[in-house]
Structure 1
Amino acid sequence: MAELNAQHVEAVIAGYVDPVLGQDYVSAGCIGELKVEGSRLSLELVLPFACSSQHDLIKQVLTQRLEEAFPGTQVEVAVRQQIEAFPSARKLPGLAGVRNIIAVASGKGGVGKSTTTVNLALALAAEGARVGILDADIYGPSQGMMLGVPEGERPETAEEKYFRPIERHGVQSMSMSYLVDENTPMVWRGPMVSGAVQQLLNQTLWDELDYLLIDMPPGTGDIQLTLAQRVPVTAAVIVTTPQDIALLDARKGIEMFRKVDIPVLGIIENMSVHICSNCGHEEALFGAGGGESIARAYETELLGQLPLALAIREQTDSGKPSVVADPNGTHAERYREIARKTGALLAKKRSSEGNSIPNIAVEVD
């Protein structure tokens, strides 16, 4: 039996690799307060990503490992999460009230990007994060409807120049659809649209968000490039379907973010398989393996695969997306798995690149 001390305790903890984070908690810097007092051991674990649904399981695993390593020891493990700010790759000034901005993009329309964005945001919130959505698709804003915001509801204003985000299902949101009539088309040129998005972003009083998801307009043109260059985006996520033409455009989306030095956390493959609502039979209508092949080619991650399911469409259209309409269902769990993986990858990227400000250690002899 190993001697009960902090060094040996950390050695035991380091023997367990978190399946989502892909690291042990010691090397990931997750050890908070560690106390050894006689035969009593107390440990505080501080996780850098949203995963509140896994806290009890993590606590159970670590408690069991420590009790087996140090028989007769009273073990107390506490788990909490603390999501830190990760600066934008382009070193742009941060956004007040927002720690991390994640752009959710696609090379083309019709791949379910907005549906994925709203469910990903709700999944991050369900995992204990403070989350917001900026609907940057000025020509076809849809987040208001997906979140169940009634037509005609307008955001409150502050100081005559700021908007307060509208909150639904625990997620803050801002969209052009909150400011204009639903049937009014936005007949604007690119520079006007880019300016409108920046105003929506900067003139909204976001309330202490861990993650702000930007539902990007489809494509890789002037609007997308301007947003990527002028908005302090932390990282991006690409949504695609397995269809060859969608995969081709997804590659262009990845290349666009690479050109402006924004890291792509991974690929979400939507409409991966069709699930028959009568018999449950699964069929790859749009092909198979496309998302995985792109992730491999660009050395990024396949964050998850989502089915082409009637329930996802119906629930989103009703203003209660899958994560809140059926929180214990299989679709909600897939979104939550993607949310945990997205947060973990962002935390790992922050950890690997380190802090740009050097640490100063003061030792007293």
Structure 2
Amino acid sequence: MNKQSNVQKVVAIVSGKGGVGKSSVTGLLAVNTSEKGYFTGILDADITGPSIGKMFGINDRAYGTEDGLIYPAVTNREIKIITSNMLLDEEDKAVMWRGLLINGAVKDFYSKVLWGDLDVLYIDMPPGTGDVPLTIYQSLPIDGIVLVTTPQDLVSMIVSKAVDMAHQMDVPILGVIENMSYMECPCCNQRIYPFGEGRVEEFAEKHGIQVLAKLPIVAKITQAADQGEFEQLEYTGLAKAVDSIFKQLQIEEPDELV
């Protein structure tokens, strides 16, 4: 990391496969963290499938200094973000990079971005247990991971593989978040389980980790992401999860920070 950056804790958001809402969870964690008064950043490590930039309405290209450092985008709430879309002339262009180039970009996003002072840097990891996640585990000082899953994933080996990878890399698992857990009927508020009732508690107990949250399907979250207004989203469903993560990592309260 460059001398102009001081990141206290690094938390990776991990999923066994794509399509579970990992980026949305990353964004919600960052917004809820910022609302609590912490200095927050997001490193979008999903180089070939970035979505953080669109979610937060980031359209500007990245620019740097004469000595090769990179300025992150800064949102209205001062969340600092770097994503591969900021390197492209057009955001809808495919990122057709080989593994070595992708791995190098992820390392540069951590070491060459001017993060300044951050209490926590969230890393939106690429899904799975392949080359890029392995590089991140080996190259970046990950303090802990948050596992994101959905009810139907819990009956497969996919999530267990992500847990096993974290154990093999000796990285603490801070907890699991079950996304798309249920939806509430707008008429009677009864919970409906479109993917069946998950067994996240059973899964967590089996692996000795805690359940941080069970997130419902909420239309306004998807709408905010599509419209680039994620930061304006008034949703505190992960506030308690942030508290638990910070307690485990022993991050001080904002009013206690020097």
Normalized against structure 1, the TM-score is what? Answer: 0.64
Q: Distance in 2 between matches of 1:221 and 1:246?
A: 21
Runs of 5+ unmatched residues, structure 2? 253-258
Q: Which residue of 1 aligns with 2:183?
A: 274
Q: Is 2:125 the counterpart of 1:216?
A: yes
Q: Which residue of the other structure, out of 32, 40, 55, is the alignment partner of 1:131?
A: 40
Is the contact between residue 14 and residue 22 of structure 2 (CA under 8 Å) also seen in structure 1? yes
Q: Quick one: structure 1 residues 318 and 249, their matched pair in 2 at CA, closer, same or farther if it must change by over 3 Å?
A: same
* Letter of the structure 2 residue corresponding to residue 130 of structure 1: F
Q: Distance in 2 between matches of 1:231 and 1:163?
A: 18
Q: Distance in 2 between matches of 1:96 and 1:325?
A: 28
Q: Quick one: structure 1 residues 279 and 160, their matched pair in 2 at CA, closer, same or farther if it must change by over 3 Å?
A: farther
Q: Is 2:236 the counterpart of 1:333?
A: yes
Q: Which residue of the other structure, out of 61, 76, 92, is the alignment partner of 1:183?
A: 92
Q: Which residue of 1 aligns with 2:256?
A: none
Q: Which residue of 1 aligns with 2:103?
A: 194
1:168-197 CA-to-partner distances (Å, cap 9, x unmatched) read 132100000011121221122222211111
Q: Which residue of the other structure, out of 135, 150, 169, is the alignment partner of 1:260?
A: 169
Q: Is 2:133 the counterpart of 1:230?
A: no
Identical columns (%): 36
Is the contact between residue 108 and residue 246 of structure 1 (CA under 8 Å) also seen in structure 2? no
1:256-286 CA-to-partner distances (Å, cap 9, x unmatched) read 0110111110001100102244554321122
Q: Distance in 1 between matches of 2:177 and 2:3?
A: 26
Q: 1:325 offset after TM fit, Å?
A: 2.3
Q: 1:294 offset after TM fit, Å?
A: 1.8
Q: Is 2:69 the counterpart of 1:162?
A: yes
* Letter of the structure 2 residue corresponding to residue 288 of structure 1: E
Is the contact between residue 2 and residue 111 of structure 2 (CA under 8 Å) also seen in structure 1? no
Q: Work out which of the two has the higher radius of gyration on C-alpha atoms and give 1 or 2.
A: 1
Q: Which residue of the other structure, out of 14, 26, 37, is the alignment partner of 1:117?
A: 26
1:56-112 CA-to-partner distances (Å, cap 9, x unmatched) read xxxxxxxxxxxxxxxxxxxxxxxxxxxxxxxxxxxx999942111000010000000
- Provide the aligned C-alpha RMSD in A: 2.2
Aligned structure 1 segments of 4 or more residues deviating by more than 3 angstroms: 92-96, 244-247, 276-281
Q: Distance in 1 between matches of 2:35 and 2:183?
A: 26
Q: Distance in 2 between matches of 1:292 and 1:218?
A: 22
Q: Quick one: structure 1 residues 285 and 107, their matched pair in 2 at CA, closer, same or farther if it must change by over 3 Å?
A: same
Normalized against structure 2, the TM-score is what? Answer: 0.90
Q: Quick one: structure 1 residues 246 and 277, their matched pair in 2 at CA, closer, same or farther if it must change by over 3 Å?
A: farther
* Letter of the structure 2 residue corresponding to residue 283 of structure 1: I
1:307-355 CA-to-partner distances (Å, cap 9, x unmatched) read 011111112222222x6322xxxxx22121211111112229x9xxxxx
The number of aligned residues is: 250
Q: 1:229 offset after TM fit, Å?
A: 0.8
Q: Distance in 1 between matches of 2:220 and 2:103?
A: 34
1:225-255 CA-to-partner distances (Å, cap 9, x unmatched) read 1111111111111000111467531211111
Q: 1:289 offset after TM fit, Å?
A: 3.7
Q: Quick one: structure 1 residues 276 and 298, their matched pair in 2 at CA, closer, same or farther if it must change by over 3 Å?
A: same
Q: Distance in 2 between matches of 1:238 and 1:205?
A: 27
Q: Distance in 2 between matches of 1:289 and 1:95?
A: 44
Q: Which residue of 2 aligns with 1:27?
A: none
* Letter of the structure 2 residue corresponding to residue 292 of structure 1: E
Q: Secondary structure at the match of 2:146?
A: strand
